């Protein structure tokens, strides 16, 4: 299988390169050259004029879009670029996929929901984003679903990995510096290890024939997030506990729960981001891990000795 992978140096993209290596012929697309991947198509996707020159450079059977404008707060003031990357780029990929017969996996987010529920969100639940990031990601989903592409959308949440800026690395870094930590305790979600997400997407790539039976647009949307839910405060406690067990920390740090209003940010955050991933499990026979995956990620960080951002 020949796979064109956009966003190959992001949290998810990096794990996809690792998981798909040896299983498929992968052509990464990234802003910078990737060591060990000389065939990378190096390009800045913020220029839409380039897209039609990039996609045909590789005769892909499957396109995986892990690229996105993910700076949630910056998006509030940079609407044009957020729309370009999160809405128009997926639309262009879907058009290309429809023209060439390539399949398309697009990754989306819990931010498409209003965040006011108290039960895990299912795929068909009412959307209602409250941020530019969420609105543009939802528009990207809709552009794909309205196209003739053989495409699937996989929504995830609270992604972390051993690379780049994310909650796990930020918390660990502060814990190692013994800084007192105040953590939001009234927003709930399912932390997702990028490795687990990548493995789930590899399952999708391998069992695509089943997908051909999904005729309704909404059936082409799946949720895949970590198996355990909690607040950011719970998440931080699990990070601290694992770090103590792994002897990264001598003792558990002091953590104080705070409310959303005590931690003002530019873009509104959904209070409830819990995704129900059971349909993905039924369709593809795969579930992402929960707190055990967090432990495995920290174990790798310890071995690599690269826990500081």
Q: How far is the CB of 210 from ligand NAP (least distance, A)?
A: 23
Q: Are 228 and 288 in contact (CB under 8 A)?
A: no
The per-residue DSSP string of 213-278 comes to T--SGGGGEEE---S--EEHHHHHHHHHHHHHHTTSSSSPPPEEEE-GGGS--SSPPPSB--B--H
Q: Which is nearer to ligand NAP, 90 or 253 (CB)?
A: 90
Nearest approach in angstroms of CB 192 to ligand NAP is 7
Q: Which is nearer to ligand NAP, 63 or 249 (CB)?
A: 63
Least Cβ distance, residue 261 to ligand NAP (angstroms)? 22
Residues 6+ apart with CB under 8 A from 3: 20, 24, 25, 26, 27, 60, 61, 62, 63, 64, 205
The two structure tokens encoding residue 72: 């949630």
In sequence order, the β-bridge partners of residue 6 are 29, 65
Catalytic residue among 69, 111, 121, 133: 133
Cα dist from 78 to 82, 83, 92, 131, whole Å: 6, 9, 20, 12
Residue closer to ligand NAP, measured from CB, 249 or 290: 290
CB of 191 to ligand NAP, least distance (A): 9
Q: Is 133 a catalytic residue?
A: yes
Beta bridge pairs of residue 249: none
For binding to ligand NAP (CB under 6 A), which residues are involved?
7, 9-13, 31-32, 44-46, 66-70, 85, 107, 109-110, 137, 156-159, 164
For ligand NAP, the closer of residues 147 and 273 by Cβ is 273
Catalytic residue numbers read 133
């Amino acid at each position: 299988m020949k796979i064109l992978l956009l966003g190959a140096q992001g949290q998810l993209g990096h794990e996809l390169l690792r998981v798909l290596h040896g299983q498929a012929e992968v052509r990464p697309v990234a802003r910078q050259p990737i060591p060990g991947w000389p065939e990378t198509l190096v390009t800045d996707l913020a220029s839409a004029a380039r897209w039609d020159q990039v996609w045909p450079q590789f005769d892909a059977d499957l396109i995986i879009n892990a690229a996105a404008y993910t700076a949630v707060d910056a998006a509030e003031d940079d609407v044009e670029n957020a729309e370009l990357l999160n809405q128009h780029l997926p639309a262009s990929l879907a058009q290309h996929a429809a023209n060439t017969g390539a399949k398309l996996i697009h990754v989306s987010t819990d931010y498409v929901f209003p965040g006011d529920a108290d039960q895990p969100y299912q795929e068909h639940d009412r959307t209602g984003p409250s941020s530019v990031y969420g609105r543009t990601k939802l528009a990207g989903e809709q552009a794909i679903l309205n196209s003739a592409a053989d495409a699937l959308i996989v929504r995830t949440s609270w992604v972390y990995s051993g690379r780049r800026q994310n909650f796990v690395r930020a918390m660990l870094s502060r814990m190692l510096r013994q800084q007192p930590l105040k953590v939001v305790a009234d927003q709930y979600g399912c932390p997702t290890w990028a490795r687990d997400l990548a493995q789930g997407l590899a399952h999708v790539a391998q069992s695509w024939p089943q997908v051909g039976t999904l005729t309704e647009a909404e059936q082409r949307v799946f949720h895949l997030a970590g198996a355990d839910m909690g607040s950011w405060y719970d998440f931080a406690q699990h990070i601290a506990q694992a770090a103590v067990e792994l002897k990264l920390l001598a003792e558990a740090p002091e953590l104080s729960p705070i409310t959303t209003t005590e931690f003002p940010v530019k873009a509104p955050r959904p209070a409830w981001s819990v995704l129900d991933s059971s349909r993905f499990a039924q369709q593809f026979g795969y579930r992402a891990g929960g707190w055990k995956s967090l432990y495995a990620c920290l174990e790798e960080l310890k071995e690599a000795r690269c826990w500081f951002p």
